[in-house]
Structure 1
Amino acid sequence: MEIRLLKKGYKNNEQFYKDFLTGEIKDEYFSGEVVHIDAAPDFPIYMGVGYEKQRRELFLQAFDIISKYYLNTDRDIHFDEVFWHSLFCVYKREYLLETYPEINNGINNFNNIVVKKFDWENYIYKCVLGAQYINDNVIDDSERKRYYDLIIDNLDLYNYIIKYEIFRNDKFLINILDITDDLGLTKILKSKIKSRDGLGKDERVGRRVIFEFNKSYPIIMSPMLEKKELQEIFLKYLSYYYDEVQL
């Protein structure tokens, strides 16, 4: 399957949005570059506001389809923002308008769902990165599913891991997920920190633990540590905030 790539200028473009709605994406929007993929099945691309109840199911569907069909491409393709935006705008238009009818309600919804910046806040980025890391390290399908569930159960923690470039490391992510699971820390790490001066209104324990890892880098090369060493430091940082949590 040939995917024609868009050229710069389509983002925050009211006319492009209108042309998307009417299905009239003109030749002038394309760069002339193409990429080839074997198949491009539909999958959920947004799990945000309004989709909380289905979030687990949507994430699992996305992880599954991305793993089976999209990770076979070069990393330069499936980690490329323009590839995904081109695929969605040109080849998935009908599916997206049917699945996310709020796209019709204004360009802000279009920007947030279809052409959102491809970074740690983008749901497709979360899924592609998670699927890549798990598939590269786990062979058994049931174990892959277990790790996908751990990502979903610890989504706030996962978000703050992939927010920092130094922690976008497959072994670090898997070790942190294992530590969280082994010690039953999911509920604690999700909990809000209360009555701590100097912190924001919605600070979570897990976020602060990752913040401490980031603050200590490169003195402590945490992404390179084995699980046992990492766990000791993880529990040390957790102790800074755990007593503030009411379970």
Structure 2
Amino acid sequence: MEIKLLKENYNIEKLYQDFASGNITENADYISNESVHIPSDTNFPIYFAKAHNSFEDFKEAIQVLKKSYIDTDRDIHLSRRFWHSFLTLYKRAYIIEKYPEVLESKKNFTNIVLKKFDWENYIYKCVLAAEYIKDRGFDSEAEEVKFMKVIYSNFDLYNYIIKYNVFRNGNFIINFLTAIDEEGLSDKLKKKIKNRSDLGKDERYGRRVIFEMNKNYPIIMAPFLDKVELKKEIHKFLKMYD
């Protein structure tokens, strides 16, 4: 399927007005002459906040991305321009049905459809998860879903991990999140750290563990540790804040 691309510096206000009114046409002045080809245009959930906070949607997004999108070049499936073009120009009906609040304001539209393509963007989070799962080669779909649940149960920590380039590594993320799941540390890592005036107001144990791993890299090569060694490092850094 050919996907036409938006211009690099398109007019968001005009794009939103045309999206809301259903008046987007192929010769609109915010559409470029460039295009890319993808093998599938299968719908999948793109937003998991507020009323849309659903593990089933999260799982569906990763499964569809893994099956239908991540075999494209990474220049495509990790491109802000591609996803913004694809969603606004080709997925209007699905988005309005699934996320009707996009028609209420440009703010909602931007937050759900045109969000910056980084660790805060839900498609970005799911694309990385789909890549990690595919590269790992789990033994069964049940094992894949189990890991998706681990990510979903530790979403804040997952977000924090993928902010760091050095930790944006499939083996590390799978081993790290699986380790804290096996050690029963999810609740602990979500908790605020108390009685530490030297830290920020909303410091969490999990974030500090990742902070310490990043600070100690490359002395401690956390991204390349196996699960057993990661468990030792996690407990070591946790003790620093207890």
Shared fold per TM-score greater than 0.5: yes
Q: Deviations over 1:84-105 (max 9, x none)?
A: 1111001001111121111111
- Other-structure match for 2:108: 109
How many residues align? The count is 239
**In structure 2, the residue corresponding to 1:199 is in which secondary structure?**
coil
Q: Which amino acid aligns with 1:128?
A: V
**1:39-81 alpha-carbon deviations (Å, 9 max, x no partner):** 11111101112323xx212111111111111112122211111
CA deviation vs aligned residue, 1:149-184 (integer Å, no higher than 9, x gap) = 110011111111101111000111011012112211
TM-score of the two chains, using structure 1 as the length reference: 0.92
**1:22 aligned partner:** 21
Q: Does 1:43 align with 2:23?
A: no
* Matched-pair contact (CA < 8 Å) for 2:70–2:77: yes
Provide the residue aligned with 1:237 in structure 2: 237
Asked if 1:56 corresponds to 2:55, the answer is: yes
AA aligned opposite 1:75: R
Residues 1:31 and 2:29 are matched in the alignment: no
Report the aligned-residue RMSD: 1.4
Q: Return the alpha-carbon distance in structure 2 between the equivalents of residues 31 and 166 of structure 1.
A: 35
1:44 maps to a residue whose letter is P
2:176 counterpart residue number: 176
1:125 offset after TM fit, Å? 0.5
Between the aligned partners of 1:19 and 1:32, the Cα distance in structure 2 is 19
Task: Report the AA paired with residue 153 of structure 2.
Answer: D
Q: How does 1:23-172 map to 2 (within 5 A)?
A: 23-26=22-25, 27=27, 28-52=29-53, 55-139=54-138, 140-172=140-172
Question: Counterpart of 1:4 in 2: which secondary structure?
Answer: strand
CA distance in 2, matches of 1:131, 1:76: 16
Separation in structure 1 between the aligned mates of residue 121 and residue 199 of structure 2, nearest angstrom = 25
Tell me what 1:203 maps to: 203
Specify the SS of the correspondent of 1:76: helix
Distance apart, 1:6 and its partner CA: 0.9
Cα distance between partner residues in 2 of 1:203 and 1:97: 37
What is the distance in 2 between the residues matched to 1:170 and 1:39? 25
219-228 vs 15-24, greater mean Cα deviation: 219-228
Deviates more, 1:184-193 or 1:20-29: 20-29
Q: Secondary structure at the match of 1:118?
A: coil
C-alpha separation in 2, matches of 1:204 and 1:58:
27
Task: State how far apart, in whole Å, the 2-side matches of 1:181 and 1:18 are.
Answer: 45
- Aligned counterparts of 1:222 and 1:22: Cα–Cα separation in 2: 50
- What is residue 213 of structure 1 aligned with on the other side? 213
- Contact 2:180-2:231 at 8 Å conserved across structures: no
Equivalent position amino acid for 1:86 in 2: S
Give CA-to-partner distance per residue, 1:106-133, whole Å, 9 cap, x none: 1111111001000001111000001111
User: Whole-Å Cα distance in 2 between the matches of residues 10 and 17 of structure 1?
Assistant: 11
Instruction: Specify the SS of the correspondent of 2:51.
Output: coil
Shift of 1:32: 1.4
| Distance in 2 separating the partners of 1:95 and 1:152 | 24
- 1:218 positional shift: 2.4
Q: Is the 8 A contact 2:191 2:204 kept in 1?
A: yes
What's the secondary structure of 1:50's corresponding residue? helix
